A and B are shown apart, each in its own frame.
Chain A
Amino acid sequence: MKKKGIKIIIALILFLITLIINFNNQWINPIIYIVSYIIVGFEIVRKAIRNIMKGKVFDENFLMTVATIGAFAIGEFPEATCVMLFYQVGELFQSYAVDKSRKSISSLMDIRPDFANVERDGKSQKVDPDDVKIGEIMIVRPGEKVPLDGYIKEGKSSLDTKALTGESLPREVAEGEEVLSGSINLNGVIKIEVTKKYGESTVSKILDLVENASSKKSKSENFITKFAQYYTPIVVIIAVILAIIPPLIIKDWAFSDWLYRALSFLVVSCPCALVISIPLSFFGGIGGASKMGILIKGSNYLEQLANTEIMVFDKTGTLTEGVFEVQKIEAIDISQEELLKIVAYSENYSNHPISLSIKKAYAKEIDEKQIIKIEELSGRGIVARIGEQDVLVGNEKLMKEKQINFTKCDEIGTILYVAIEGKYAGYIVIADKIKENAKKAIHDLKKNNIKQIVMLTGDRKDVGEDVAEKLGLDQVYTELLPDGKVEKVESLLKEKSEKGKLAFVGDGINDAPVLAISDIGIAMGGLGSDAAIEAADVVLMTDEPSKIVNALHLSKRTMRIVKENIVFAIFIKVLVLVLSAFGLSTMWEAVFADVGVSVIAIINALRVLRGKD
């Protein structure tokens, strides 16, 4: 590339000197033009000759050679040199741009560990991550990447998982916790017991996925390659006709004029601007997405995402945390804190999710000496003696059975009624919590022209409808079994317009069939979940709903740039073709239509890489 650059500079200097000074000599000018042509274009001519031997007529090297040599033949020396010179500048720029985007993508995918330090025979050995076996102990020092998945056997540290999740806050980890390969150890030395082979570890899975993403091509890419397949031959054939027919029909028309027009055609006939800028844009889009912790498995999905009309969400774990939390405490005649304390004590020995959420909300040490007696009545609740008091904690049934005079509560969720010493003392509402940024995400999706946002859940009607209302969803279907979800998605697929797409967002664990039948299957919380990475087309590494909005923005942005490039390049090319056919434009415009358009399209495509979203 450097050599090519030097050649171009030398040729360009010679060319400009001749053009500006103009030696006014019928020999010197052409000779300098030819010398500069040979410096910059020899490689192209050589390739052209080689290819024509093999019968490759529509090869761009050949087209450029014919166009420039033809221009020399009719005495247009500056044009001939200039076309070759700028063609080479365009090529150079193109390979620079491609190289740059390749590098910037591989650098953000720079999570591949180079080695692993393994404890063998009591000593630490540096080995290839591929050679580490399950159950071995790895030592990871500060600044090193975690090479394989495992859990911490010894030590604690904070891990930078930015390359995996796009999350910039470090994650604190301690003994017994799971660590994923690809994260970077920030401070303490940790010993990790390996649980997965390198090939199955998170880091290899992610790399595999991103590297293979470009093999699934989008419609736009296929359109462009198809277009290029016909465009070049058609333009070349018209060029031949243009050179031969008009001078034959009308005697006064000079052959050289028409040949000049035909040669301009050849210059414009190269489809490179389009052919390179489209995959470059998608490549940038996929790369930019993985930087944000969004893995897109192919350009086709990026393209479809931009056309999403219906977005279907699973509830638990997707829009809600999937964890029960105390939502409300209503205390009568005692303080809220006191009520919570009594309930926490009563629930102390239970491991039910509801009990756990109560203990979490209480968050203080429980003095077990105060728990005198606890009796669980299945399906109703707990009868306990805490300290000096008889306590009842349970549902409506328990209250009725014990003839407590209580007020029924219409809150959504699981309700625990409490009675102390036979007297009603209030209630606690426990429900699955809606994710923090879920509401904003739904709102943003609507602003981005998602026509219908639907939620499917296996949960109870009142719970599902309450979540849907709080989030402002368009439709909600509740109490669905897994096959019911499939049926609903199938019927929703019929509702969308022909071009519109349906995206399903789930946690990827039990949604595999729905993910498969949707146009785009999006799985959340992909980090560490193989099932999700396997089943979905788009994987969000973290479980924030806002990432979907990011992905949507990015896909729209990419598609806008793709369309701009297609329209701009085809328009300029056709315009210059028409103008040259009528002799209104010269080979200078033709060079612009070829190289200039390439360069502009590539610069435009590179914008995707710099995307803020």
Chain B
Amino acid sequence: MKSKFKIKGLDCANCASQLERAIQKIEGIESVSISFMTEKMELEYDEARKEEIMQKVKKVIKKEEPDVTIQEV
């Protein structure tokens, strides 16, 4: 399943790619793409485990970039 998020509060493009790498490591995430320019995150993941995976994604974001907020669109 694919979901799109508005991602706000990223400081720089490097932070975006670091965050992208960290999210990629989460189990159940098939692909992730964060665009610093458009402030968009695209996630592809196992739909059956949506709740669990989204929890993990939020945890990773909180750890890596505490100022960043996401909102599903």
Shortest Cβ gap from A500 to chain B (Å): 27
If the complex has contacts A54-B63, A214-B35, A217-B33, are A272 and B13 also in contact, measured as CB distance less than 8 A?
Answer: yes
Query: Does the CB pair A279–B33 fall under 8 Å?
Result: no
Assembled-state Cα–Cα distance A50/B11 (Å): 15
Q: A275 in the interface, Cβ–Cβ < 8 Å? A: yes
Query: Does the CB pair A276–B36 fall under 8 Å?
Result: yes
Assembled-state Cα–Cα distance A60/B66 (Å): 15
Query: Does the CB pair A214–B40 fall under 8 Å?
Result: yes
Query: Does the CB pair A279–B36 fall under 8 Å?
Result: yes
Stretch at the interface among A94-102, A128-136, A308-316, A429-437: A94-102
Assembled-state Cα–Cα distance A276/B13 (Å): 5
Query: Does the CB pair A275–B42 fall under 8 Å?
Result: no
Query: Does the CB pair B14–A60 fall under 8 Å?
Result: yes
Query: Does the CB pair A276–B12 fall under 8 Å?
Result: yes
> B21 to chain A: which residues have CB within 8 Å?
229
Q: B3 in the interface, Cβ–Cβ < 8 Å? A: no
Q: Give the interface size bracket for B toward A.
A: 10 to 19
Tell me which residues from 1 to 59 in chain B have a Cβ below 8 Å from any Cβ of chain A. Answer: 11-14, 17, 21, 33, 35-40, 42
Q: Chain A at the B interface: mostly helix, strand, loop or mixed?
A: helix
In chain A, what residue has the closest Cβ to B14? A275
Assembled-state Cα–Cα distance A283/B38 (Å): 9
Shortest Cβ gap from B19 to chain A (Å): 11
> B37 to chain A: which residues have CB within 8 Å?
98, 101-102, 214, 279-280, 283
Assembled-state Cα–Cα distance A54/B40 (Å): 25
Assembled-state Cα–Cα distance A214/B64 (Å): 22
Query: Does the CB pair B66–A214 fall under 8 Å?
Result: no
Query: Does the CB pair A275–B12 fall under 8 Å?
Result: yes
> A521 to chain B: which residues have CB within 8 Å?
none
From the candidates A60, A215, A272, name the one contacting B35 in the complex (CB within 8 A).
Answer: A215
In chain B, what residue has the closest Cβ to A106? B38
> A229 to chain B: which residues have CB within 8 Å?
17, 21
Shortest Cβ gap from B12 to chain A (Å): 5
Tell me which residues from 243 to 290 in chain A have a Cβ below 8 Å from any Cβ of chain B. Answer: 270-272, 275-276, 279-280, 283
Shortest Cβ gap from B8 to chain A (Å): 12
In chain B, what residue has the closest Cβ to A102? B37
> B66 to chain A: which residues have CB within 8 Å?
50
In chain A, what residue has the closest Cβ to B37? A283
Shortest Cβ gap from A515 to chain B (Å): 23
Assembled-state Cα–Cα distance A386/B36 (Å): 72
Assembled-state Cα–Cα distance A279/B38 (Å): 10
Shortest Cβ gap from A204 to chain B (Å): 13
Shortest Cβ gap from A118 to chain B (Å): 25
Query: Does the CB pair A271–B14 fall under 8 Å?
Result: yes
Q: A38 in the interface, Cβ–Cβ < 8 Å? A: no
Shortest Cβ gap from B24 to chain A (Å): 12
Query: Does the CB pair B12–A279 fall under 8 Å?
Result: no
Assembled-state Cα–Cα distance A589/B5 (Å): 40
Q: A211 in the interface, Cβ–Cβ < 8 Å? A: yes
A residues with CB within 8 A of B: 50, 54, 56, 60, 91, 94, 98, 101-102, 211-212, 214-215, 217, 225, 228-229, 270-272, 275-276, 279-280, 283
Q: List 13 A-B contacts (CB under 8 A).
A: A54-B63, A94-B12, A211-B40, A212-B42, A214-B37, A214-B38, A215-B35, A215-B42, A217-B33, A229-B21, A271-B14, A272-B12, A276-B12
Nearest 10 interchain pairs by C-beta: A214-B35, A215-B33, A283-B37, A275-B14, A225-B17, A275-B13, A276-B13, A214-B38, A215-B42, A279-B37
**15 further contact pairs, Cβ within 8 A, besides A215-B40, A279-B13:** A54-B64, A91-B11, A91-B12, A211-B40, A214-B35, A214-B37, A214-B38, A214-B40, A215-B42, A228-B17, A229-B17, A229-B21, A275-B17, A279-B35, A279-B37
